[in-house]
Amino acid sequence: MTKGKKTDGLMRHLRDNKNMDIQGSKQKRELLQMGYYHGYKGYRFIKQKNNPILFTEFDQLKSIYDFDMHLKSLLYPYIMSIETALKNYTIDTLVSYGSLDLEFAFKNFLLDYKSETVGSSKYNLKMKDRLTLRKKIDTEISFKFSKNEIVTHFLRGDSMPLWAVFEILDMGSFGLFLKCLNEPIRIDNCNDLKLTHTSIVNDGNLVRDVIFTLKELRNSVAHNNVIFDCRFSGNTSAMNSVKAYVMVEVGVSNIEFNFLIDYFILIVLLLKKLGYNKTELKKIIKQFKDETEQLRLSVPISICNRINGTDLNAKINCLNNYI
């Protein structure tokens, strides 16, 4: 049986075994607020446990924790706004192609697999994506029937419209929907969102790629998981199309989505495309910069650079120029 420690014991453990200066009622209260296991355990390393942060003071840990929490508070409403807007723009694009009925969509919109030779590896992969999408939608509808008013209402009728389906689809499933769309629809969707650039081939997949790039950050922010070091990306990497587009559109270099600033630049870019004005965007950028500056003043510069990269200010300057 595992026996835990009281907070006083955990503080002694940090002092005696981790060489961290932590003491007094104020820091005890702060440790209780952040949680030893969510706080110290979650913020003691960068991305991987074999890449520890050698804290000497509890206040340094608290500064990183605050940085993480404040950025989640900053990003949450904008990521949710982007998700909602991308779904609404897609509905607006699909209206021009016919009925918004779910079954009509599968028969007429979600046919990208037909662009490949029957029986080829690409055909099989795209067909599998379509079948997976169908299963995900059916599973969500089945689970939320009688629990979700929208689902219950439409299943008592003849059909389920796509806008209602989008209400119950998570960001990843929505990305899969975009992936299965016919190429002309995908291209129109990109054009409607102005997510195009003359120097980049427009195959209509950029909206989908943006969704897949942002979905893990979105989930981490929504579920209060650690984001300061981009550990949410796991073993996946952002699509090359998104990296290229951000660099060309914003005029910034070295976008690899290894640091949170790269995701932030993508978010601001999308907000601009969605119609946020310059004043709003400048305010968001200033809030982000203020948080990074507060972190810089609170931890050694070596730790700060490991978290935010050495070209943070250059990227923020490029973003401001873009706005």
| Predicted pLDDT of residue 173 | 95
| Predicted pLDDT of residue 151 | 65
Question: For 74-88, what is the mean pLDDT?
Answer: 96
| Predicted pLDDT of residue 22 | 87
Residue 18: left if φ>0, alpha if ψ -120 to 50, beta else—which one? alpha
| Predicted pLDDT of residue 40 | 83
Question: For 150-157, what is the mean pLDDT?
Answer: 64
* Distance, CA of 211 to CA of 266 (rounded, Å): 11
Question: For 46-70, what is the mean pLDDT?
Answer: 91
* Distance, CA of 46 to CA of 260 (rounded, Å): 12
Q: Strands, DSSP E only, in the chain?
A: 45-46, 48-52
Phi, psi of 45 (to 5 degrees): -145, 165
Given a cut of 80, whether residue 1 has pLDDT beyond it is: no
| Residue 280: Cβ-neighbour burial (10 angstroms; 0-12, 13-18, 19+) | middle
